[in-house]
């Protein structure tokens, strides 16, 4: 039998877990699944939205200050309504647009500077 991934769960180091939880739940629409002390110090929490999961941590095991040189893409549907709901409450990196590679998407920054993109496939 060969390992086959079924999902990916990013773990992001955050400066202030309360502020991050408020952003992800209050602004975006994730729900807090659980919050616990981290082994070795700090706290971890798991956020869920549909089948997407994201872990936030203040744990020292993740190294220095929050950083990521990439973009986390969340693929779903009705991305336009999400954009209209949150655009006045977030830092928009790129506005809602139809991309030449077949998606409608937009990008934002979260409270720790991570780039998040929300996308849906365009009809053929």
User: Where does the pLDDT of residue 87 fall: very low under 50, low under 70, confident under 90, or very high at 90 and above?
Assistant: very high
pLDDT higher than threshold 90 for residue 19: yes
Domain ranges of the chain: 11-121
CATH 3.10.180.10 describes domain 11-121? yes
User: How do residues 34-67 score in pLDDT, each as one tens digit?
Assistant: 999 988 888 999 999 999 999 999 987 777 777 7
* pTM metric for this prediction: 0.91
Q: Which long-range contacts (CB under 8 A, 24 or more apart) does 98-101 make?
A: 98/122
Say what the pLDDT of residue 80 is. 97
DSSP conformation class of 22: I
């Amino acid at each position: 039998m060969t390992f086959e991934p079924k999902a990916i769960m990013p773990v992001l180091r955050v400066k202030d877990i309360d502020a991050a939880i408020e952003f992800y739940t209050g602004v975006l629409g994730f729900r807090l699944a659980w919050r616990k002390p981290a082994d070795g110090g700090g706290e971890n929490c798991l956020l869920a939205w549909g089948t997407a999961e994201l872990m936030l941590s203040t744990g020292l095991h993740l190294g220095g200050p929050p950083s990521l040189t990439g973009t986390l893409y969340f693929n779903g549907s009705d991305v336009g309504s999400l954009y209209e709901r949150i655009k006045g409450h977030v830092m928009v990196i790129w506005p809602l647009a139809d991309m030449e590679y077949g998606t409608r998407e937009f990008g934002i920054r979260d409270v720790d500077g991570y780039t998040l993109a929300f996308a849906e496939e365009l009809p053929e």
